[in-house]
Amino acid sequence: MRKGTQEMVEQNKRVYSRREIVNVYNRSRRELTAAEQICLEIVPPGDRFSILDIGIGTGRTTEPLAKMFKSYVGIDYSAEMVRVARAYSPRNDLRVMDARKLQFDRHFDCVMFSFNGIDYVDYADRQIILAEVSRNLRVGGYFIYSTHNIHYSRVPGYLNNRWTTEIWLSPLHLLLTPWRQVQRLINRTRNFSRQSAGVIPGVAYVNDPGESFDLITTYVDIALELQQLARHGFTALQTVGSRKQSPQYDGADPWVYIAAQKQTEGLPASLFKT
């Protein structure tokens, strides 16, 4: 299974490096989501000195977080994404870097990994990322991120062969461009067999509609995720569903935002490397 999921990781990275995908992200509004703002409110003003922003894409979160914290560093593993982000925010420290191999000689007060970026590696690499975040975060620091919810009501439809509505019932702009529908059908056909569920209880690799079915996304049981955070030295402070305006989540939420605080040194990343 590890070989297959590693192929998934490399495929996802290629998708996020393609010019057309970079352009899609470049058109997004450069602002924080409501759930991100709720989670960031947990960080006291007196602790807002330094932040590491992982998975910046084309810089949606860069300016808002740089204004909130005195010291800002943003990273992404897609050089194309970082190139665009630098054009919008030339004065900020933006680097090409993989979250599985953080290269800093300092500790941050806060680390943020937004918009489910942690879900585009496999579960073993997720543990490496959590260990790396813990290693680069001071004790008492805050970790905020989002991850897909395995109990989302539409997951069974994604995993099983009941997906035609996801292909054909699309937003108006997709219906007006038939080639996009063809692309979605080709991607879904190619990626459907790459899915898996039940290999690790509470974890599923799902070919959902993200980027026209071109990605394999890791979905997790949020309760399991909170247990894993504890292994890495974190205590969860808050969970906010992507469709909620307050700290709660359920099967209506495709993903969930988690705000946690580092209490102790967690497990080393080397423990999870194979």
Q: What is the DSSP string of 258-273?
A: EEEEE-S----GGGG-
Look at residue 3 and tell me whether its pLDDT is greater than 70.
no
Identity at 113, one-letter amino acid code: F
Look at residue 173 and tell me whether its pLDDT is greater than 80.
no
Whole-angstrom CA distances from 107 to 21, 141, 169, 229, 236 are 32, 9, 47, 18, 20
pLDDT single digits (tens) 129-162: 999 999 999 999 999 999 999 999 999 988 886 5
**How deeply is 259 buried, as exposed, middle or buried, from its count of CB atoms within 10 A (0-12, 13-18, 19+)?**
buried
On the CB side of 132, CA atoms within 13 Å amount to 22
Output the pLDDT for position 1. Answer: 47
Nearest CA among 267, 274, 202 for reference residue 231: 267
Distance CA 59, CA 63 (A): 8
Would you say 144 and 110 are in contact if contact means Cβ atoms under 8 Å apart? yes
- Containing 96, the helix (H) or strand (E) segment is strand 93-96
Would you say 54 and 46 are in contact if contact means Cβ atoms under 8 Å apart? no
pLDDT single digits (tens) 228-253: 999 999 999 999 999 999 999 999 99
β-pair partners for 143? 111, 260
> Which of the two residues, 2 and 233, has the higher pLDDT score?
233
Count of positions (residues) in the chain: 274
Across all residues in the chain, what is the average pLDDT?
A: 91
Residue 177 pLDDT grade (very low, low, confident, very high; cuts 50, 70, 90): low
β-pair partners for 217? 206
Would you say 253 and 242 are in contact if contact means Cβ atoms under 8 Å apart? yes
Look at residue 121 and tell me whether its pLDDT is greater than 90.
yes
Among the residue ranges 4-13, 28-37, 225-234, the one predicted with the least confidence is 4-13
Identity at 251, one-letter amino acid code: G
Among the residue ranges 10-14, 173-177, 194-198, 260-264, the one predicted with the least confidence is 173-177
Q: What is the mean pLDDT of residues 103-120?
A: 96
Domains and CATH numbers, the chain: 2-149+221-272 (3.40.50.150), 155-213 (no CATH)
Distance CA 169, CA 40 (A): 35
Distance CA 58, CA 78 (A): 10
Output the pLDDT for position 144. Answer: 98
Look at residue 167 and tell me whether its pLDDT is greater than 60.
no
Output the pLDDT for position 171. Answer: 54
What is the DSSP track for 197-237? ESSSTTEEEE--SHHHHT--EEEE-HHHHHHHHHHTTEEEE
